[in-house]
């Protein structure tokens, strides 16, 4: 048990270190070749911070451990919005850029509903994976085109964080390429350690690989997003904080789940209880973000507390389900009542705020 835990922690540390080295090398290399800071943030950094999820999920898919892949993607997406943005908003209220409200958040919801629809037949196969992966390519192209119309404030935030900080020389180029290769190597090794140890832990603890994926693996692989979002919020770079979480969720569903479905020998099986609980929880997370973002174009500390509360309740429910708690039926009824009530309540608050704000729905805080 001790050696397994150490292997899990070691794999996690390698994943985090690999993601950091990969992002650093790729960002500097792209900046040196004239790629805009905003494009770097929307693509390289977003993919880099999601690279632990990518590495772990693909490793699990290749090994035929689809439950671990599915749990990691669903758990990470729930964690990114409810926990990361909830905690970040408690540390510093997050102002939301209009593009995130009008485009990125609805795209996240649309992609979540698409993945849910594809999973309704109980399996995510090669055709589903191809569709999701193609969606990722389309999203990247769309995001880069939309970045040209971003406000000066948003562009300055990304420029401050991701602008070129070194000249383009042969030596620097070689160093950055070595950083990228080293980061990829650490991600591959770390994912192997983490997947192997997670499977052993699931057997020792008597729980499914899905539960391990939804909890410890999802939280562990999302640590780069935690660091990026919190640091960005404390620097008052709220567009980076929210864009990182929303972008990572889109990448997880289109890229990680899509490639996982393509590589898994028998596809990724989606049991009925996963559709009814965990998949719906992920869709609920995407849905609840919309009215939260709409209210005053910011995530207040009160909204952050609500998001954190939802995550704590979800984790408690998962654990009750794993141990077969006698309180599970009562908790299920509570979820069935509170989830739609929360969505309706937030929607009403957002609508009333729109009415009170006048005809213009968005308040342009960039000016």
Any domain includes 363: no
- The mean pLDDT value of the chain amounts to 80
pLDDT, tens only, 158-213: 556 555 556 667 777 788 788 888 887 887 787 778 777 877 877 777 777 788 88
pLDDT of residue 8: 78
Least confident range of 114-123, 318-327, 355-364: 355-364
pLDDT, tens only, 267-325: 888 989 889 899 999 999 999 988 888 876 778 888 889 999 999 999 999 888 888 88
pLDDT of residue 363: 45
Q: 17: which 2 tokens?
A: 């270190």
Q: What confidence tier does 359 reach under pLDDT thresholds 50, 70, 90?
A: very low
Q: Is 296 left (phi over 0), alpha (psi -120 to 50) or beta?
A: left
Q: 213: which 2 tokens?
A: 């994926």
Q: What CATH number is given to the structural domain containing 183?
A: 1.20.1420.30
**In angstroms, rounded to a whole number, what is the distance separating the alpha carbons of residues 54 and 221?**
9
The SS3 of residue 265 is coil
pLDDT, tens only, 232-267: 777 776 666 677 788 888 988 998 899 889 888 888
Residue of 235 and 55 predicted with greater confidence:
55
Any domain includes 68: yes
Cα–Cα distances in Å, from 313 out to 6, 264, 285, 356?
A: 29, 32, 13, 32
Share of the chain above pLDDT 90, in %: 17
pLDDT of residue 351: 77
Residue of 364 and 60 predicted with greater confidence:
60
Any domain includes 353: yes
- N residues, the chain: 367
What's CA 332's distance to the chain center, in Å?
25
pLDDT of residue 364: 45
Any domain includes 367: no
Alpha helices in 120-169 (DSSP H): 126-147, 152-162
Any domain includes 365: no
Any domain includes 366: no
Cα angle at 169 between 23 and 179, to 5 degrees?
25
Any domain includes 174: yes
pLDDT, tens only, 78-113: 998 999 888 888 887 777 766 677 788 899 999 999
Domain count across the chain: 1
Domain enclosing residue 346, as ranges: 2-357
Any domain includes 362: no
pLDDT of residue 366: 44
Contacting residues for 240 by C-beta, under 8 A, at least 6 apart: 41, 157, 158, 161, 228, 229, 232
Q: 242: which 2 tokens?
A: 């929210």
pLDDT of residue 117: 94
């Amino acid at each position: 048990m001790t050696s397994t835990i150490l292997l899990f922690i070691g794999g996690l540390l390698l994943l985090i270190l690999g993601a950091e080295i990969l992002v650093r090398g790729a960002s500097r290399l792209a900046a040196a070749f004239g790629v805009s800071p905003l494009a770097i943030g929307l693509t390289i950094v977003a993919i880099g911070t999601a690279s632990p999820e990518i590495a772990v999920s693909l490793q699990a898919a290749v090994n035929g451990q689809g439950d671990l892949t599915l749990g990691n993607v669903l758990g990470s997406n729930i964690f990114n919005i409810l926990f990361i943005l909830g905690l970040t908003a408690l540390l510093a209220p997050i102002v939301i850029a209009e593009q995130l409200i009008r485009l990125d958040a609805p795209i996240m919801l649309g992609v979540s509903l698409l993945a849910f629809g594809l999973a309704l037949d109980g399996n995510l196969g090669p055709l589903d994976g191809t569709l999701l992966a193609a969606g990722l390519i389309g999203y990247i192209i769309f995001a880069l085109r939309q970045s040209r119309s971003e406000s000066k404030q948003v562009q300055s935030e990304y420029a401050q964080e991701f602008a070129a900080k070194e000249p383009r020389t042969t030596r620097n180029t070689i160093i950055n390429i070595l950083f990228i290769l080293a980061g990829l190597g650490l991600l591959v090794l770390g994912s192997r350690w983490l997947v192997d140890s997670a499977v052993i832990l699931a057997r020792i603890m008597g729980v499914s690989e899905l539960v391990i994926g939804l909890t410890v693996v999802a939280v562990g692989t999302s640590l780069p997003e935690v660091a990026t979002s919190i640091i960005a919020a404390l620097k008052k770079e709220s567009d980076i904080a929210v864009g990182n979480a929303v972008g990572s969720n889109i990448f997880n569903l289109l890229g990680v789940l899509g490639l996982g479905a393509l590589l898994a020998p028998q596809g990724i099986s989606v049991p009925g209880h996963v559709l009814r609980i965990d998949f719906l929880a992920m869709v609920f997370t995407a849905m609840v973000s919309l009215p939260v973002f709409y209210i005053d174009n910011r995530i207040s500390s009160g909204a952050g507390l609500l998001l954190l509360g939802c995550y704590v309740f979800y984790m408690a429910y998962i654990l009750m389900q794993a141990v077969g708690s006698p309180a599970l039926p009562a908790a299920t009824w509570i979820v069935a009542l509170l989830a739609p009530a929360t969505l309706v309540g937030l929607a009403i608050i957002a609508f009333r705020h729109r009415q009170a704000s006048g005809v213009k729905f968005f308040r342009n805080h960039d000016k």
